[in-house]
Chain A
Amino acid sequence: MRTQYLFDRQTVLVLSILAAAAILVPAMNGLVPPGSALHLSDHLVPLLGKYVCLALLALSVDLIWGFCGILSLGHGAFFALGGYAMGMYLMRQIGPRGAYADPILPDFMVFLNWKELPWFWHGFDWFPFAALMVLLVPGALALVFGWFAFRSRVTGVYFSIITQAMTFALMLAFFRNDMGLGGNNGLTDFKEVLGFPVQAGSTRVVLFVLSVLVLAGGYLLCRWVVGSTFGKVLVAVRDAESRTRFLGYRVEHYKLAVFTLSAMLAGVAGALYVPQVGIINPSEFAPANSIEVVIWVAVGGRGTLAGAILGALLVNAGKTWFTAALPEFWLFALGGLFVFVTLFMPRGILGAAGDLWERSSRRLRTRRSPQPFTQAAE
């Protein structure tokens, strides 16, 4: 019973699609000759890889919003922190190949006339350490922030606003040159990752496949979490926080655990994002970015996990198309999407599709995804 839910129909479908992507994209890029209609050009691979990373970010938001009712408007901060940890590793890998050819200091530090590496940069030349920091830095911030917030029962809109304040404060901080993280320009001009050139087509394909695998892993992890007893308590917290507390559960511990886990997932997404995009700068902390992530989840279907992935892919593909074809209308479309989804599709695409399926088959089935949106008791 315990493992059965892990591999239900939705999970199998998601995993097979991801597996297909992991096989097809390299094949279409590498094996199909250029000029063929099925050929995937080199610049599309990192673009798809970017979508996959954003899907992982959406997944992390869905885990807390869809299953625990915590609406974080600052998840972009965890994503960006993971990205900065990775970016610091990539900066150290540049070594003496920078414009100023300093063997230790990144270019921007030489430019600012700094003499030695700030203390927090030490260790980032060693990949395992950087990888650990990708998890630990967002995780630690989420732990501290969440510990304060959940302990004093900051909930609902108030929590959303202070997460927004958090990411705004971080954005202001990272814009400062004194922060030692590249200021306005952020970290860029990466040369290689683990010895492979970042710009090379083959590296990008590998990064894409890696991102898909991590996404699949993240999806399985979230499935496992929400299906466990722990996950059931999370849903109870979402639907009736006080009742759960009165039943004897330490609500804040549950919230804190899932919030921290979600932040770490977001950090991993950021870390995979940076080498494929080639830059990380403070604008990733912008509050608007974090709000956008929430709409991906809402479009796909809140509380379904697969919906978060679907929503992130659809909205970002739409964004790429719109900003190229009709740049004037992208904000209209995105704004309209926010309004439309909240008004007419409160359970997103997957929720609406599920309703249709249920109505047409008229079969009573046990719900696979927990029913969201029960009004909290007063």
Chain B
Amino acid sequence: MIVLRKFLRAFLLLLGMASAALAGPYEEALPRFTSDSYADTDAAIGAVAASGNPLAVDVIEALRDGRLLVGSGQVFIRRASGDLINAATGQAWGNPAGELKPVRLNNRVRRAIEAALGSLTLLNPDAAKRLEAARAVFRSRDEAALPALEKAIAQESHVPVRNALETARAAILLSKQDAPPTQKLTAVQTLRDRSDQEALALLSNLPAHAPPEVVAAAGKAADGIRARLAFWQAFQNVWYGISLGSVLLLAAIGLAITFGTMSVINMAHGEMVMLGAYTTFMVQELIRSYFPGLFGASLLIALPLAFLVAGSVGVLLERTVIRFLYGRPLETLLATWGISLILQQGVRTIFGPTNREVGTPAWMSGALDVGAMSLTYNRIAIVVFAFSVFAILLLVLRYTSLGLYVRAVTQNRRMAGSMGIRTSRVDALAFGLGSGVAGIAGVALSQIDNVSPNLGQGYIIDSFMVVVFGGVGNLWGTLVGAMTLGIANKLLEPYAGAVLGKIALLIAIIVFIQRRPRGLFALKGRVVEA
């Protein structure tokens, strides 16, 4: 029996070899994988890719993943399921003879694989795959992919993919030694139109054999790209500044309300932000355990809760402590500092000193590309959110009776009291409102910062600066203050570095306060001391 089986196997082997000898370039290329030489493997990849055989993609992908096995002069693909198929025929191959070894790879082979896969998938029906393939070819700059590229460009109808294909062709033409100069000039043109970091790198690192007129054109194009990138970089920095300004605005706007009405700096304000962030954490924990489907809405659910939690802590604080310190702003500052220490330690005791994980809903991840800028969705959401909170507060202060009372007390406490406004109740509500807004800010900040007991500490000095810079009694001052500080900070950063930029800004504010001791938008009154 054994003899018979051996005979059978030898026969089948012979049959396989015979069919290989009979067939086209694909089958001719396959045995070169078995020679265990990198040069042969490289050549085989090129031949397989060019053969047009439907199995070609499978073979090369298997090679990339170490699933292309050779043994007894034959090539097999191991499927992810573990089944073997014969690479030559695509038939399942149950029980191979002898030991199978994966085809070995080195970096040269890997590059060849990437280029081959790139050109193979250039004709994939899926546009996303084609785009990816075009990018792979662009990176590998493999001259062998040029014919496939030309073919793909000719039949491509999707504009972004077509653009990507054309830049890939331009990249290859530029590095190809024997391409005619006119083609190279067109390639420079194409890359100039693409005008991003990669194109710039290509244009400024031309190969030594490039003709002089191409070098000149490339230099000019590179300068143009640099100017354009610098232009967008400025926008990007301004955007970062707006984003930082929005964070500052969120953190400071509640402070501005409490400071405005009671001329009290609430040192525990940062802890209200922290409470909001921890509320978000709690909401997400509950949703994860009980209603996993609602996770996308977790932040929206957390918003009112954070407002309530921080707001009620604020009202409690006002009723139990700050109420007794009217007219003594410096003492209030100390008492609220004490409260901030207690809140920090309380949260540390309950939740532990380490950072807590707050997830980002799917709709907030990803980025939007505008020109050469990339705007992440969570930053966009925070900017939009900060401005909405600002607008809502503005409306509340302008059109509700509470807002009217708050403004009256801010402008002249005694007169407001004489007109029948219960100033102490307004204080409590304003304090609750300010703290609640801080809680909402905490929900937003939980997305971009570590949720830890020290979260509030990081914002308190910056928020003071915003309020002092903008002036009290006017929310627009807070807006202008936050945006000015945010943008100035980010514009300084590239030149001075993060720390020096911040120091410069602090000094600038200290000097500014000398010029306008009551901030940008000071209330005009007739009191000598306020």
Contact = CB atoms under 8 A, between A and B. Distances in A.
Interface of A: 71, 145, 148-149, 151-158, 160-162, 164-166, 168-169, 172-173, 175-176, 241-242, 287, 291, 294-295, 298, 328-329, 331-332, 334-339, 341-343, 346, 373, 375-378
B162 interface: no
Nearest to A176: B499
Interface in B319-343: 321, 324-325, 327-335, 337-342
15 contacts: A71-B333, A148-B510, A156-B263, A161-B265, A162-B468, A162-B510, A169-B507, A173-B499, A291-B334, A291-B337, A332-B346, A335-B342, A338-B337, A339-B321, A343-B325
A342 B331 contact: yes
Nearest to A69: B330
B511 interface: yes
B527 interface: yes
Given A151-B514, A242-B528, A164 B342 contact: no
Contacts of B464: 161, 164-165
A314 B507 CA distance: 36
B465 A331 contact: no
B180 to A, nearest CB: 53
A152 B529 contact: no
B345 A331 contact: yes
A28 to B, nearest CB: 35
A338 B500 CA distance: 34
A158 B468 contact: yes
Nearest to B331: A342
A161 B338 contact: no
Given A161-B465, A176-B499, A373-B328, 15 more contacts: A157-B259, A157-B264, A161-B464, A168-B461, A175-B499, A242-B528, A291-B267, A295-B338, A332-B342, A334-B338, A337-B338, A338-B338, A339-B321, A339-B335, A376-B529
Contacts of B447: none
A168 B468 CA distance: 16
Given A335-B341, A338-B337, A165 B506 contact: yes
B344 interface: yes
A274 B521 CA distance: 44
A150 to B, nearest CB: 10
A71 B337 CA distance: 14
B338 A335 contact: yes
Tell me the dominant secondary structure on chain B's binding face.
Answer: helix
Contacts of B309: none
Tell me the dominant secondary structure on chain A's binding face.
Answer: helix
Nearest to A170: B503
A346 B328 CA distance: 10
A44 to B, nearest CB: 27
Sorted nearest first, the 4 A-B pairs with minimum C-beta distance are A338-B338, A335-B341, A335-B342, A331-B345
B371 interface: no
Contact of A158 (B324, B502, B517): B517
Contacts, number: 135
Interface string B380-409: 000000000000000000000000000000
Interface of B: 259, 263-265, 267, 321, 324-325, 327-335, 337-342, 344-346, 349, 461, 464-465, 468, 499-500, 502-503, 506-507, 509-511, 513-515, 517-518, 527-529
A276 B461 CA distance: 31
B345 A335 contact: yes
A335 B344 CA distance: 10
A316 to B, nearest CB: 16
Contacts of A166: 506, 510
Nearest to A150: B514
A308 to B, nearest CB: 15
Given A152-B514, A157-B265, A328-B349, A343 B341 contact: no
A378 B528 contact: yes
Contacts of B338: 295, 334-339, 342
A149 B527 CA distance: 20
A172 B502 CA distance: 8
Given A157-B333, A242-B528, A148 B461 contact: no
B503 A173 contact: yes
B506 A169 contact: yes
Nearest to B467: A161
Contacts of B499: 172-173, 175-176
B330 A160 contact: yes
A313 B17 CA distance: 96
A280 B197 CA distance: 46
B81 to A, nearest CB: 55
B327 A375 contact: yes
Nearest to B460: A287
A335 B513 CA distance: 30
A154 B259 CA distance: 16
A239 to B, nearest CB: 12
Contacts of A149: 513-514
B329 A156 contact: yes
Given A165-B461, A331-B344, A152 B517 contact: yes
A337 to B, nearest CB: 7
Contact of B514 (A154, A294, A335): A154
Nearest to B518: A158
Contacts of A164: 461, 464
- Pick from B330, B342, B499, B503 the residue with the most CB of A within 10 Å: B330
Contacts of A341: 334
A103 B525 CA distance: 63
A233 B392 CA distance: 48
B527 to A, nearest CB: 6
Contacts of B529: 155, 241-242, 376-378
Contacts of A298: 334
Contacts of A295: 334, 338
Contacts of A154: 513-514, 517
Contacts of A151: 514
A367 B342 CA distance: 36
- Pick from B264, B337, B509 the residue with the most CB of A within 10 Å: B337
A32 B55 CA distance: 95
Contacts of A377: 529
A335 to B, nearest CB: 3
B333 A160 contact: yes
Contacts of A291: 267, 334, 337
A173 B506 CA distance: 11
Contact of A287 (B264, B339, B461): B461
A156 B530 CA distance: 9
B515 A157 contact: no
Contact of B341 (A148, A172, A334, A373): A334
Nearest to B506: A169
A162 B509 CA distance: 8
A335 B339 contact: yes
Contacts of B337: 291, 335, 338
